[in-house]
Amino acid sequence: MQSISSTAGLKEAIRQLEFKQAEHAKLLKEEFNLTRESLKPANLIKSTFTDVVASPLLVSNVLGTVIGLSAGYFSRKLFVGTSVNLLKKLMGNIVQLGVTTIIANKPELVQSFGQQIFQRIFRKRKTTS
């Protein structure tokens, strides 16, 4: 910046700096309002769901994990039932852990198994004439 030697030059420099300051304040307020809007709980949830839906890999991972946990839980319930035997409950927990791990890590196996069952149930039966 150049040195100011007159009163008129000083007033002009002050006016320019005040204008710059007003512009920066306006931009800062706009940025603050945008940030405040984006941090509202409803907008955070909305953006999170948008991100999740936009990522098919994440959806398939979550779906595989949910299916694995559900299958593990139901396999333990089938294995243990309403038994009060401690050894049977322990074995049920081990079965649950194994089934959950296998299904969560290999969801394509579950998918192919489900497709085979679906095809067997709903395939067209050949009519004999």
Q: Residue 122: which H helix or E strand, with range?
A: helix 107-122
Percent of the chain at pLDDT > 90 equals 21
Residue 80 pLDDT = 82
Q: Are 60 and 95 in contact (CB under 8 A)?
A: no
C-alpha dihedral (96, 97, 102, 107), degrees to nearest 10: 70
Residue in 77, 60, 69 with CA at minimum distance from that of residue 98: 69
Same domain for 46 and 62, yes or no, is no
Same domain for 67 and 86, yes or no, is yes
How many structural domains does the chain have? 2
In a domain, 127, yes or no: no
Range of the domain at 29: 8-54
In a domain, 2, yes or no: no
**Sign of the CA dihedral with 31 first, then 34, 36, and 38 last:** negative
Residue 17 pLDDT = 95
Q: What is the pLDDT of residues 81-107, one digit of tens each?
A: 887 888 888 888 898 888 888 887 777
The mean predicted confidence, pLDDT, of the chain is 83
Q: What is the pLDDT of residues 45-75, one digit of tens each?
A: 888 878 767 777 766 777 777 877 888 888 8
Same domain for 114 and 71, yes or no, is yes
Residue 21 pLDDT = 97
Same domain for 118 and 64, yes or no, is yes
pTM (2 d.p.): 0.44
Give the Cα separation of 81 and 22 in Å (integer). 73
